[in-house]
Amino acid sequence: MSEKKYDNETLKAFYQTMARIREFESRAADCFTKGMLAGNIHLCLGQEAVAAGTCAALEPEDYITCTHRGHGQCIAKGGDTKKMMAELFGKETGYCHGKGGSMHIADAQGLHSLGANGIVGGGLAIATGSALASVISGDHHVSLCFFGDGASNQGVFHEVVNMAATWNLPVIYLCENNGYAVSTPIHTVTHTTNIAARAKAYDIPSETVDGMDVLAVYEAVQRAANRAREGKGPTLVECLTYRYQGHYCGDPAPYRPKEYLEEGMAHDALKHMVKVLLDNGVKQSEIDAIDAAAKKELDDAIQFSIDSPDPDPSEVTTDVYADDNERSVVR
């Protein structure tokens, strides 16, 4: 629990972001179950506080890379839920014109989001490269990489953290540790008690915080961002959280003990924030209004997606293949 005092408007803004993320994910799951979406989707239900707290601590000009479970991260960075949902529907009006889908939403120019990634740990090197670009150009932006506990066992994690530490890059490595890499409990494949301990090998600061507490996440990332802006290099922040669904939408997750979900629900970030709001004098009617606005926003986003056109077949290779060099070939 944070010891800092926040005004009610700030607290309501945190709750609003989390409520919008949960509503988006819940409605996406409903659309998927009804067969309205092609492919598959990976939801961040239960992890809303991590995205909300993290992105609130960043400046609009700061860059992020997202995971395959990245809808909440995009929303927290300022993403348009209509364009996001349209992308899930595979429509022309989506962020990537319907060609990227759930795992590849990106908006480098507008949101400074360098994209979600279907490759486990794929954003680690991209965020590190972004931080290096900031040093070279002198733009003073911070780059932050969201990654999961499983990605910390990828070789690229160790390579880029070593590089960032050596070159003192303004990058934050933000681990969403929900305890499972697909179906593998993280402690069966990782010897350290937590992921943050790995920062010691590269002599960079680290923190492990309660990822169900949006204020704890916000304060930890804010400290890391301040260090990066002051030229003090990278930080590893680990947020302990829970994944309410299985690895993908529809995964029954029989590999998890029932206590996992029971514990996660008992520490639900939105319920915790409602209590904080009520304890600070915010009226229940104000909270209900935030929830109602989120539902209306997603009603509109889904209808927008349904009404949007499919990509034109003639555009099938546009934005997919590079065509500005002699070695480019459409295969």
CATH value at residue 295: 3.40.50.970
Strand 180-181 relative to strand 184-185, pairing:
antiparallel
DSSP label at 148? E
pLDDT for residue 328 is more than 70: no
What is the span of the domain harbouring residue 201?
A: 2-330
Nearest to 128 by CA among 136, 322, 61: 136
Burial of 255 (0-12, 13-18, 19+ CB in 10 A): middle
Nearest to 110 by CA among 121, 90, 128, 96: 96
Q: Which residue has the tokens 């480098």?
A: 108
Distance from C-alpha of 3 to C-alpha of 37, rounded to nearest angstrom: 43
pLDDT for residue 187 is more than 90: yes
Distance from C-alpha of 135 to C-alpha of 144, rounded to nearest angstrom: 14
pLDDT of residue 331: 44
Query: 90-149 pLDDT, tens per residue?
Result: 999 999 999 999 999 999 999 999 999 999 999 999 999 999 999 999 999 999 999 999
Give the count of domains, the chain: 1
Burial of 58 (0-12, 13-18, 19+ CB in 10 A): buried
- pLDDT classification of 4: cutoffs 50, 70, 90: confident
pLDDT for residue 323 is more than 70: no
